[in-house]
Structures are given as structure tokens and as C-alpha cells.
Amino acid sequence: MTDRARYLPYEPSPLPGGGGVALPLPAGTVARGVLPPDHPVATGMANGRVLDRIPIPVTERTLQRGQERFLIFCAPCHGRLGDGSGVVVQRGFPPPPDYAIRRLRDAPVGHFYRVITYGYGAMYRYADRVPPLDRWAIAAYIRLLQRVRPEVPPERFQELRERARREGIRQIGAPPLAPSPPRR
């Protein structure tokens, strides 16, 4: 096999003319499959306000995709029902808020998209793990969860959170956690 020269994109070209190895992109070029950074579907905002409607068609397939992505990325902390009782909470992390509380029921749907994108509180960002259309599908699924579950009154939520703290921040009603075996 012969040895060939290898160049990195945009490094100076060894050929006369002095340009780069890769040809320059024409003005206005947008990568395929990538939304412009200021597009409402990419930001969750329009005209400086968080979107209150989902900007993609919400079909059964969208909700199924949202459920699938929710169970992968969200349920470990938020629980399968969005009640804040995920396995991570059982391992000692503070519980996230229940999606059925009034504050989150009243939040615009773009709020959930932006929290998934940028993180919030103890939750880290998922922008690098979940593409924009999947984030909207998750937001649609969260809205579905909110419709099928009764509202949790604020005092009941605080009571559950305090009880979880007293019990070592485990899932309420879960058996005590066994210590992890030592690593070798």
C-alpha cells in the first residue's frame, strides 16, 4: 500500500495558491439536518418568549418517540410517571419536582424543551445527547403525563419532599439501601 499525504480540514494547502485543503463553504451554507441556531425549533423561543405550543406535529409516532426517549433519558431521575421517584433518587439524589405540580402544569411547553436543552438546578444539559426533535417529542410526552395524572397540591409535594429527606432522600417506601461492595 502506498503512503498518502493526510491533511486536516481547513489546514493550509501545500499547493500553490495558498488556500486551505478544504474548499471554503459558500455564504449561507447550512449543514444538512441541522437547524439554524436561532430557529424556534432549536431554541424553544420565538420573539424573545418561551414557546407555549409545540412547533412540530404531535402525532402518535411523536408521542411514542417521546415516551421512548423519556424512559431512556428522564425516567432515571423523574420516574416512569414523572413523579420524581426515579432510580437515581433511590440512590441518594434529591428528588426532582413532580410534573403534576401546579407550577409545572402552568409552565409553557417550551420550558421543558429549554430545561432538557440547557439543564436546570441539579439537572445537567442534554443538548449534546438528545436532538431537538426528540426534545420536543419528550416535551409532548411530559404534557401527556400531566394530563393523565391528578394535580399534586403544593403542600402535599412539600410533605413528600420532606419525608424523602428524613428517610435519607430515598424513594418513599423503598427499603433501606444496602452498602455497595468495595471495589478492587
pLDDT recorded at residue 178 = 47
High-pLDDT (> 90) share of the chain, %: 52
Q: What is the CATH number of domain 58-166?
A: 1.10.760.10
Q: How is 125-170 classified by DSSP, letter by letter?
A: P-TTTS-HHHHHHHHHHHHHHHHHSPPBPHHHHHHHHHHHHHTTSP
pLDDT recorded at residue 40 = 92
Statement: residue 176 has pLDDT above 70:
no
Amino acid at 66: G
- The residues spanned by each domain of the chain are 58-166
**In this structure, are residues 172 and 164 in contact, taking their beta carbons and an 8 Å threshold?**
yes
Statement: residue 122 has pLDDT above 80:
yes
pLDDT recorded at residue 63 = 95
What is the arithmetic mean of pLDDT over 77-88?
92
pLDDT tens digits for 18-27?
A: 677 777 778 8
pLDDT grade for 12, boundaries at 50, 70 and 90: confident
pLDDT recorded at residue 67 = 96
pLDDT grade for 77, boundaries at 50, 70 and 90: very high
Q: Looking at 69-73, 78-82, 134-138, 161-165, which range is the least confident one?
A: 161-165
pLDDT tens digits for 24-52?
A: 778 888 777 777 888 999 999 999 999 99
Statement: residue 136 has pLDDT above 50:
yes
Q: Pairing state of beta strands 45-46 and 49-50?
A: antiparallel
How many angstroms separate the Cα of 49 from the Cα of each of 73, 97, 167? 26, 23, 40
